[in-house]
Amino acid sequence: MLTLLVFLPLLGSLLSGLLPSFVGKKGVIWVPTVLCLLSLILSVILMFQAISGESYTIILGNWINSGNLKIGWALRLDMLSAMMLFVVMLVSTLVHIYSIGYMDHDPHKARFFSYLSLFTFAMLMLVTSNNFLQLFFGWEGVGLCSYLLIGFWFKKQSANAAAIKAFLVNRVGDLGLILGIAIIYYLTGSLDYDVVFNNISSILHLDIKFLNYNIPYIEITCFLLFIGAMGKSAQIGLHTWLADAMEGPTPVSALIHAATMVTAGVFLVARCSPLFEYAPIALNFVIIVGALTSIFAAFIAISQNDIKKIIAYSTCSQLGYMFFACGLSAYSAGMFHLVTHAFFKALLFLGAGSIIHALTDEKDIRKMGGLARLLPYTCGAMWIGSLALVGLPPFAGFFSKDIILEAAWAHQSSNGYIAFYLGLLAAFLTAFYSWKILFLVFHGKARSDISKAHESPLYILIPLFILSVGAVISGWIGYIMVDTHHDFWHGAILILDNHKALINAHHVPILVKASPIIVALLGILLAWLFYIKRTNLPLIFSSKFSFLYNISKNKFWFDELYELLLCHPLKVMGNFLWNKGDIGVIDKFGPDGITYICKKFASKIKSFQSGYVYHYAFTMFFGLIALFSWQFLIFLGWI
Amino acid sequence: MTSWPILSLMIFIPLFGAFFISLIDGDERIVIKNTKMVAMWTSIVVFILSIFVWINFPRSSGFHFIEEVTLFSSLGISYRLGIDGISMLFVALSAFLIPICILASWKSIKFRVKEYMILFLLLESLLIGTFCALDLLLFYIFFEALLIPMFLIIGIWGGPRRVYAAFKFFLYTLAGSVLFLIAIIVMGYSSGTFDIRELLEHNFPYQLQLLLWPALFASFAVKTPMWPFHTWLPDAHVEAPTAGSVILAGVLLKVGGYGFVRFSIPMLPNASDYYAPLVFILGVIAIIYTSLVALMQKDMKKLIAYSSVAHMGYVTIGLFTFKQEGIDGAIIQMLSHGLVSAALFLCIGVLYERMHTRMISDYGGVVKNMPKFSLVFMVFMLASIGVPGTSGFVGELLVLIAAYKVSGYLAFATGLGMILGAAYMLWLYKRVIFGVAENKNVKNLIDIDKREYVIFVPIIIGVFWLGIYPESFSIEFRESVVNLVNSINNRVLN
Residue-wise pLDDT tens digits, A158-192: 999 999 999 999 999 999 999 999 999 999 888 99
Q: Where are the alpha helices (H) located in B224-323, listed in sequence order?
A: 232-239, 242-247, 253-259, 265-267, 269-295, 300-319
Rounded CA gap, A504 and A18, in Å? 54
Measured between beta carbons, which residues in chain B are less than 8 angstroms from residue A183? 404, 408
Residue A273: closest CA among A286, A263, A260 = A286
Percent of chain A with pLDDT over 90: 50
Is B418–A171 a contact, with Cβ atoms under 8 angstroms apart?
Answer: yes
Cβ within 8 Å of B, A 579-608 = 581-582, 586-587, 590-591, 594-595
Is A229 within 8 Å of A266 (Cβ atoms)? yes
Give the confidence band of A639 by pLDDT, cuts at 50, 70, 90.
Answer: low
Amino acid in the structure at residue B75:
L
- The number of beta carbons lying within 10 Å of the beta carbon of residue A107 is 7
Is A478 within 8 Å of A339 (Cβ atoms)? yes
* Sheet strands (E) in A137-275: 207-210, 213-216
Residue A216, beta-bridge partner list: A207
Instruction: Dump the DSSP string for A432-444.
Output: HHHHHHHHHHHSS
Nearest CA in chain A to B423: A168
Percent of chain B with pLDDT over 70: 99
Measured between beta carbons, which residues in chain A are less than 8 angstroms from residue B415? 175, 178-179
Phi, psi of B489 (to 5 degrees): -60, -45
pLDDT attached to residue A469: 93
Measured CA to CA in angstroms, residue A154 lies from A107, A229, B434 at distances of 13, 28, 5
Percent of chain B with pLDDT over 90: 54
Is A96 within 8 Å of A36 (Cβ atoms)? yes
Mean pLDDT of chain A: 89
Mean pLDDT of chain B: 90
Q: Has residue B246 got a pLDDT over 60? A: yes
Secondary element (H or E) of residue A69:
strand A69-77
Of B172, B422, B475, the CB nearest to A168: B422
The whole-angstrom distance between residue B263's C-alpha and the CA centroid of its chain comes to: 17
Of B172, B293, B393, the CB nearest to A591: B172
pLDDT attached to residue B435: 83
Is A179–B404 a contact, with Cβ atoms under 8 angstroms apart?
Answer: yes
- The number of beta carbons lying within 10 Å of the beta carbon of residue B359 is 10
- The number of beta carbons lying within 10 Å of the beta carbon of residue A413 is 13
Is B470–A63 a contact, with Cβ atoms under 8 angstroms apart?
Answer: yes
Nearest CA in chain A to B434: A154
Rounded CA gap, A181 and B393, in Å? 14
pLDDT attached to residue B388: 93
Q: Which residue has the higher pLDDT, A498 or B388?
A: B388
A136 touches chain B (CB under 8 A): yes
Interface test with A, best of B178, B296, B420, B428 (most A CBs within 10 A): B296
Give first-to-last CA distance, chain A, whole Å: 101
Give the confidence band of B118 by pLDDT, cuts at 50, 70, 90.
Answer: very high
Measured CA to CA in angstroms, residue B2 lies from A2, A60, B27, B58, B59 at distances of 46, 35, 42, 11, 15
Is A168–B416 a contact, with Cβ atoms under 8 angstroms apart?
Answer: no
Measured between beta carbons, which residues in chain B are less than 8 angstroms from residue A584? none
For B212, residues 6+ apart whose C-beta sits below 8 A from its C-beta are B183, B186, B187, B204, B268, B271
Query: What value does the mean pLDDT take over residues A142-146?
Result: 93
Task: Give the model confidence (pLDDT) of B405-444 as tens digits.
Answer: 998 899 999 999 889 999 999 999 999 998 888 888 888 8
Measured between beta carbons, which residues in chain B are less than 8 angstroms from residue A175? 412, 415-416, 418-419
A178 touches chain B (CB under 8 A): yes
Residue A502: closest CA among A402, A392, A394, A393 = A402
Task: Give the model confidence (pLDDT) of A243-290 as tens digits.
Answer: 999 988 999 999 998 889 999 999 999 999 999 999 999 999 999 999
Measured between beta carbons, which residues in chain A are less than 8 angstroms from residue B387? 140-141, 144
Q: Has residue B129 got a pLDDT over 90? A: yes
pLDDT attached to residue B2: 52
Task: Give the model confidence (pLDDT) of A621-637 as tens digits.
Answer: 888 999 988 888 888 87
Give the confidence band of A380 by pLDDT, cuts at 50, 70, 90.
Answer: very high
- The number of beta carbons lying within 10 Å of the beta carbon of residue A504 is 16
Of A73, A154, A586, the CB nearest to B228: A586
- Whole-complex ipTM: 0.92
3-state secondary structure of A416: helix
Q: Label each residue of A392-408 as H, E or C.
A: CCCCHHHHHHHHHHHHH
Of A144, A171, A574, the CB nearest to B296: A574
Q: Which residue has the higher pLDDT, B173 or A112?
A: A112
Interface test with A, best of B285, B405, B434 (most A CBs within 10 A): B434
Q: CA-based diameter of chain B, in Å?
A: 70
The whole-angstrom distance between B205's CA and the closest CA on chain A is: 30
Query: What value does the mean pLDDT take over residues B280-289?
Result: 92
Is A336 within 8 Å of A460 (Cβ atoms)? no
Residue B42: closest CA among B72, B13, B64, B68 = B13
Interface test with A, best of B385, B396, B419 (most A CBs within 10 A): B419
Task: Give the model confidence (pLDDT) of B39-55 as tens digits.
Answer: 999 999 999 999 999 99
The whole-angstrom distance between B400's CA and the closest CA on chain A is: 7
Cβ within 8 Å of B, A 198-237 = 208
Rounded CA gap, A435 and B368, in Å? 42
3-state secondary structure of B294: helix
Task: Give the model confidence (pLDDT) of B131-140 as tens digits.
Answer: 999 999 999 9
Give the confidence band of A359 by pLDDT, cuts at 50, 70, 90.
Answer: confident
Task: Give the model confidence (pLDDT) of B154-181 as tens digits.
Answer: 888 888 888 888 888 888 888 888 889 9
For A564, residues 6+ apart whose C-beta sits below 8 A from its C-beta are none
Is B77 within 8 Å of B137 (Cβ atoms)? yes
Measured between beta carbons, which residues in chain B are less than 8 angstroms from residue A65? 470-471, 474-475
pLDDT attached to residue B119: 92
Is A116 within 8 Å of A125 (Cβ atoms)? no
Is B426–A168 a contact, with Cβ atoms under 8 angstroms apart?
Answer: yes
Task: Give the model confidence (pLDDT) of A182-236 as tens digits.
Answer: 999 999 888 999 999 998 888 888 888 777 788 888 999 999 999 999 999 999 9
Nearest CA in chain A to B295: A574
Is A66–B328 a contact, with Cβ atoms under 8 angstroms apart?
Answer: yes
Task: Give the model confidence (pLDDT) of A118-141 as tens digits.
Answer: 999 999 999 999 999 999 999 999
Residue B149: closest CA among B251, B37, B70 = B251
pLDDT attached to residue A272: 93
A393 touches chain B (CB under 8 A): no
Residue A209, beta-bridge partner list: A214
Contacts 24+ apart (CB under 8 A), A139-142: A139/A174, A139/A177, A139/A228, A139/A232, A139/A264, A140/A174, A140/B387, A140/B388, A140/B393, A141/B387, A141/B388, A141/B389, A142/A232, A142/A256, A142/A260, A142/A261, A142/A264
Residue A548: closest CA among A300, A358, A320 = A300
Task: Give the model confidence (pLDDT) of B313-349 as tens digits.
Answer: 999 999 999 999 999 999 999 999 999 999 999 999 9
For B80, residues 6+ apart whose C-beta sits below 8 A from its C-beta are B66, B67, B68, B69, B133, B134, B135, B138, B195, B196
The whole-angstrom distance between A479's CA and the closest CA on chain B is: 37
Measured between beta carbons, which residues in chain A are less than 8 angstroms from residue B416? 175
